[in-house]
Structure 1
Amino acid sequence: MKGLLKERAVFVIGIGMHPYTFPNKNSFVPMGLRAVREALCDAQIAWEAVQSAYVGTAAIGMAAGRVMFQHLGSTGLHVTQVESASASGCSAFRLGCMDVASGNNDIVLAMGVDKFGDGKRAANKDGLPRLSPTATIPAVKFALLAREYLERHGLPVEAMAKVAVKNHGNAAMNPYAQFRKQRSLEQVLASPKVAGDFTVQQCCPRGDGAAAVILASGSALDRLGYPKQRAVRVLASVANSERRGTNQEPSVVEMVRMSSQQAYEEAGIGPKDLDLIELHDAFSIEELLYTEAMGLCKHGEGAQFLADGASAINGQCAVNSSGGLLGMGHPLGPTGIGQIAEIVRQIRGEAQVRQHARSKLGLAHMIGLGSVSFAHVLASWGETS
């Protein structure tokens, strides 16, 4: 999409969310509607102005979009539902960007909504015998990666647990977060074991939630009279999937490294230009692995980058100022859209007590089962004008 985004600018002009919650019996419809209505209000447009919609969901079932949108009005808009596991919202966002960048539509909704489902995975239905009953369980995969990483670099488990301390602390300041309580290092380490060296507070929760963004072209901004200082431009949107990997680098880390590098090249920036990153921290070790893979620090220096406060709010580059998956929560469908909303909020200077200074450029990065990877670079109006 490199050429498209350069030829026809795409902007985020509205964001909205329903707070992430623990699984409950409430319908997904009010959650989704709240997120969409907030986004419409933020964008200062009516529902009738939206020309197409992309809905990311992993666990609700078929036709979730139309079930929700009929309550806003049956306007005849084009609706597409997307599923990419944890990256469902990211996929919906990318498709929305392509829609606007192609010139097909001027104003597009990209959203994610989910409730805790049955968790059935295609990997468990492929008819192939498994060497281990835990072979397809992400917690086991990342626990093995964590053990290897800590041993290779001579690090204690505390180095990894500090990720959860930081991200729970950020989530405590986020009104949309599922967990809004600070955790000490002692509390994180003392929580029940899950797999390997992971404790409960180093593994993200599953829950319910919704998030939505409104995308628009430059001509739509002019037509709407939208205040351009609030418009956040999408400089890059890339996607890839896991390869075989090498002995030097786990395949999932390689995937993150390659997608990040592609996003930097498409946006015309480098990792040191970034002020913010929202990344996939379903397990604490991922933040250490990915800050290295994304080029924020050198190989093997992820733990020190964290310990030095470089990834804290008002540090060198705020990583998961929202609280990340560990603190903010991970309802699957909305997660990637929630990342976009956080970066937009920070770039606008509207994040209140968790506002990161100098927020001009941000990277939203997610992975999903399979594994697939999505990366989006967003920038303030002043960085692109």
Structure 2
Amino acid sequence: MKITLAQQRPVYVAGVGWHRFQKPSNTPYIQLGLTAVRQSLGDAGIGWRAVDSAYTATALLGMAASRPLYKHLGVTGIPMMQVENASASGSTAFRLACHDVAAGTSDVSLVLGIDKLPTSGAAGQPTAVPSLAAAYVPPMAHFALLASEYLDRYAATPDQLAAVAVKNYANAALNPNAQRPKARSIEEVLAGPTLAGPLTRLQCCPIGEGAAAVVVVSDDAIDMLGLDRSRCVRVLSSVLRSEELYGARSFDAELTRATVRAAYEQAEISPHDLDVVELHDAFTIEELQYVEAMGLVEEGKAAAALSKGDFDRGGRVAVNTSGGLLGSGHPIGPTGVGQIGEITTQIRGEAGPRQHPGARTGLAHMVGLGAVCAVHILQASEVSA
């Protein structure tokens, strides 16, 4: 019989930390990672020796990146695992840490997402199986085609598509860890340059570098280590799926639909219970497709709901309060971990000027090349109890 996260012992996020997401620089990855880890441990109120296991998510650094980093914190002999799952690397590492703690193998597990510029190509390159479309349909063109199809099918406008970026840049302007911390007008977003179809440069996320870390703990650890239970956020569900055959429909959206449905079932909630959502918006069209796939709005109605302010801070459900991938940036390995940190911060009520009022339940969503989809649902401890 399969055992879900909800059927094991309770799991919480007790600490969060970042090194700001930024353009490529000469900053050593060790410095990026240690900054995030130390901040997360300090936020949780624990020392490095309390950590029982560590999961490091990175898609671009190459092998054996964990040991040279963690040795600066102390040689404690804990198990260290490196996780790669494309854009969902951080989300996957978080899932593994949650199940580690839920199963009782660890009481405290550290999740670090960290990346810099690539040193090697994707694993699919040396398989000797040629891709007939890779040279002609890169991700930007793929999502431009989906954007054009969406605009035609639902009579949405380029302005409504660009409004996703306007909302997310407004949020990023309030996020000290964002790579693009500047609010943008609809005119600026549409001004170009146009990169593919209706997608302009500011409708496509930047890939840079950075780090994000979270500390995952058991219920026992909260009491054993004297942690502040009011700041510990419960992880209600963790679901990871890979794509199936969906016919002519967008596989990203259909994969999201199936994964989110399973996460709702595991957490025993509905879309109407969500207050905040961090979703994979590498391109503006993705946000419109995914909020529909998540059941936050009817099919074809996302653009109109966005125009009404439904997904703003203070709206019906706040989407990408961090700025999303568009505004916060997408350094690959850290992205999914940063989403967990943002939702935790929102649920604690500690997000400052970007706080969504009354945030108690949140969902984090990442899609990874391949394709895989990871979804986590978190909730305030007093609601979960």
- Into which bin does the TM-score normalised by the smaller protein fall? over 0.9
Residue equivalent to 1:20 = 21
Q: Does 1:302 align with 2:302?
A: yes
Q: For 1:168, what is the secondary structure of its paired residue?
A: helix
Matches of 2:120 and 2:208 in 1, distance apart?
A: 12
Give matches, 1:102-141, under 5 Å. 102-118=103-119, 120-135=121-136, 137-141=138-142
Is the CA contact 1:123–1:136 (under 8 Å) kept in the aligned structure 2?
A: no
- Give the residue type in structure 2 aligned to 1:277: V
- Give the residue type in structure 1 aligned to 2:227: Y
Matches of 2:133 and 2:369 in 1, distance apart?
A: 18
Give matches, 1:13-52, under 5 Å. 13-52=14-53
Give per-residue Cα distances to partners, 1:286-321, cap 9 Å, x unaligned.
Answer: 000000000000000010111110000110000000
Give per-residue Cα distances to partners, 1:119-161, cap 9 Å, x unaligned.
Answer: 6223333323343453562111111111111111112211111
Matches of 1:207 and 1:223 in 2, distance apart?
A: 39
Residue equivalent to 1:246 = 247
Deviation, 1:252, is: 1.4
Matches of 1:98 and 1:49 in 2, distance apart?
A: 18
Residue equivalent to 1:216 = 217
Q: For 2:168, what is the secondary structure of its paired residue?
A: helix
Is the CA contact 1:85–1:369 (under 8 Å) kept in the aligned structure 2?
A: yes
Matches of 2:94 and 2:133 in 1, distance apart?
A: 36
Unaligned 5+ segments in structure 1 are none
Is the CA contact 2:16–2:43 (under 8 Å) kept in the aligned structure 1?
A: yes
Matches of 2:46 and 2:119 in 1, distance apart?
A: 36
Deviation, 1:2, is: 5.3
Corresponding pairs, count: 384
Is the CA contact 1:238–1:259 (under 8 Å) kept in the aligned structure 2?
A: yes
Residue equivalent to 1:317 = 317
Matches of 1:180 and 1:76 in 2, distance apart?
A: 39
Matches of 1:173 and 1:235 in 2, distance apart?
A: 28
Residue equivalent to 1:197 = 198
CA RMSD of aligned residues (A): 1.2
Q: Does 1:177 align with 2:175?
A: no
Matches of 1:197 and 1:4 in 2, distance apart?
A: 41
Q: For 1:337, what is the secondary structure of its paired residue?
A: helix
Matches of 1:136 and 1:114 in 2, distance apart?
A: 25
Residue equivalent to 1:362 = 362
Give matches, 1:337-352, under 5 Å. 337-352=337-352
Give per-residue Cα distances to partners, 1:222-272, cap 9 Å, x unaligned.
Answer: 11121211110000000001112123x321111000000100000000001
Matches of 2:191 and 2:120 in 1, distance apart?
A: 28
What TM-score do the two structures reach when normalised by structure 2? 0.97
Give per-residue Cα distances to partners, 1:27-80, cap 9 Å, x unaligned.
Answer: 100110000000000111010000100000000111111110001111101000
Give per-residue Cα distances to partners, 1:170-189, cap 9 Å, x unaligned.
Answer: 00000000011110000000
Task: From the superposition, tell whether residues 119 and 279 of structure 1 become closer, same or farther in structure 2 (CA, over 3 Å).
Answer: farther
What TM-score do the two structures reach when normalised by structure 1? 0.97
Give per-residue Cα distances to partners, 1:167-213, cap 9 Å, x unaligned.
Answer: 01100000000011110000000021111111000000000000000
Matches of 1:119 and 1:150 in 2, distance apart?
A: 36
- Give the residue type in structure 1 aligned to 2:128: G
Over the matched positions of the two proteins, sequence identity in percent amounts to 50
Residue equivalent to 1:235 = 236
Q: Does 1:99 align with 2:100?
A: yes
Unaligned 5+ segments in structure 2 are none
Task: From the superposition, tell whether residues 77 and 126 of structure 1 become closer, same or farther in structure 2 (CA, over 3 Å).
Answer: same
Task: From the superposition, tell whether residues 137 and 123 of structure 1 become closer, same or farther in structure 2 (CA, over 3 Å).
Answer: farther
Residue equivalent to 1:278 = 278
- Give the residue type in structure 1 aligned to 2:96: L
Matches of 1:185 and 1:29 in 2, distance apart?
A: 38
Give per-residue Cα distances to partners, 1:319-378, cap 9 Å, x unaligned.
Answer: 000000000000000000000000000000000000001100000000110011000000
Is the CA contact 1:2–1:266 (under 8 Å) kept in the aligned structure 2?
A: no
Q: For 2:178, what is the secondary structure of its paired residue?
A: coil
Q: Does 1:374 align with 2:381?
A: no
Task: From the superposition, tell whether residues 130 and 176 of structure 1 become closer, same or farther in structure 2 (CA, over 3 Å).
Answer: same
Residue equivalent to 2:189 = 188
- Give the residue type in structure 1 aligned to 2:217: A
Is the CA contact 1:90–1:336 (under 8 Å) kept in the aligned structure 2?
A: yes
Q: For 1:59, what is the secondary structure of its paired residue?
A: coil
Deviation, 1:5, is: 3.0
